[in-house]
Amino acid sequence: MDSTIALISFALLFLSVAYLSRRPSAAGILLLDRRQSTSSPLKYPHKDPFLGLDLYWLMRNAIGNSKLLEIRKELFEQYGNTLEFNSWGAKVLATREPRNIQTVLSTSFDNFGVEPVREDHTGGSFMAKGIFTADGAIWRRSRALIRPTFARSQIGNFDSLQAHVDRLIDLIPRDGSTRDLQPLFKRLFLDTSTEFLFGESVESLSAQSSFQATSFLQNFDICMGGLASRMQLGRWAFIRGKDVQYREAIAVVYRFIDGHVKRVLQQRGVQQPTQEITSADDGPQSYILLEAMAQETQDPMDLRYQLLHVFFPAHDSTAIAVSDMVFHLARRPDQWSKLRSEILAATSEKSLTFELLKSMKYLRHVINESKSGGLKLMM
């Protein structure tokens, strides 16, 4: 069981962070439809044609009842793989059509952007300028800052992940009792992401850790919820008012990241001018993203936001993806057994490497099946 979860965890961590090298764009899928000579998407039959509040409340209720994916699937099945609807007066396109997603993320990547959509509606400055909210030169700079993360020596550093997974395995009961694994997965990827981002893991899975993981994760979730709400509301986000809880949660997350930024900048201040941090290709233990970024900029605000854009998918998205996979595998013992057999056979006589991980076809199939099927684009 431990090797299976370790491999799933590592594979999802890599895929989620690698997503940063190709961010989703949002600026003209109708033009895409016309260039490809396809029909225009169907429009949702709103009862409220002005603000689309009927669909908004349908989605809000679905979120509250943990039925959002189910509702989205029903909408796609009823109206097609690309659907146009009204969200608080803004035209929105949601698509799960593979050709559309491929066009946006790959074949016509330079024709799309995120800034017109996200620049003014991201909940104040929580995410600010970074790889998820910028285009052009700012986006290219952000991508260049994080790209060394994908060096083979970093991707193949399994020892650190294994130590964290071992702690997680020790917390799973052996008496047949039921345990909600998602909180543990969130702590797992909090530990791994803080280690490779900041050089210091918070060790939230350890009983000796003094880090208040539950409080931090709760505040992080409040930030993500507030961010999503503001993106939904768009120019109407002001109706949330001062939103004190959201602002206080942002302050908690900022203090955490700013503390690490301050530490590294202070360390750089006492280093010799000729002293340099080793690159990502120099060894599996040498590369720390914050230290590498600090070689390019010493602006603490810039470092805060650049790190936040990496911390979000490396921690939150990966934990959710692994939780979803394990949820379904726990209900399909045949698939779990097949996956475990492939992993045990592949690693029985070989040490785990990046190439060996890529060669596990069924593991890749399981991951691909667990990915969400829709990409939301706004105009």
Each residue's pLDDT tens digit, 1-27: 555 555 555 444 444 444 444 444 333
**Is 20 in contact with 313 (CB distance < 8 Å)?**
yes
Comparison of pLDDT for 86 and 176, the residue scoring more: 86
HSE on the CB side for 64, CA within 13 Å?
A: 6
The pLDDT of residue 6 is 53
Comparison of pLDDT for 272 and 217, the residue scoring more: 217
The pLDDT of residue 154 is 59
Opening angle at CA 302, ends 119 and 188, nearest 5:
90
Phi, psi of 264, rounded to the nearest 5 degrees? -70, -40
pTM here is 0.74
Taking alpha carbons only, the member of 218, 278, 207, 294 closest to residue 253 is 218
**Is 223 in contact with 215 (CB distance < 8 Å)?**
no
Question: What average pLDDT does the structure give for the chain?
Answer: 78
Comparison of pLDDT for 136 and 225, the residue scoring more: 225
The pLDDT of residue 205 is 94
Does residue 342 carry a pLDDT above 70? Answer: yes
- Percent of the chain surpassing pLDDT 70: 76
The pLDDT of residue 17 is 41
Does residue 77 carry a pLDDT above 90? Answer: yes
Comparison of pLDDT for 362 and 143, the residue scoring more: 362
Q: 61-75, 102-116, 221-235 — which is least confidently predicted?
A: 102-116
Does residue 55 carry a pLDDT above 70? Answer: yes
Distance of CA 126 to the CA centre of its chain: 16
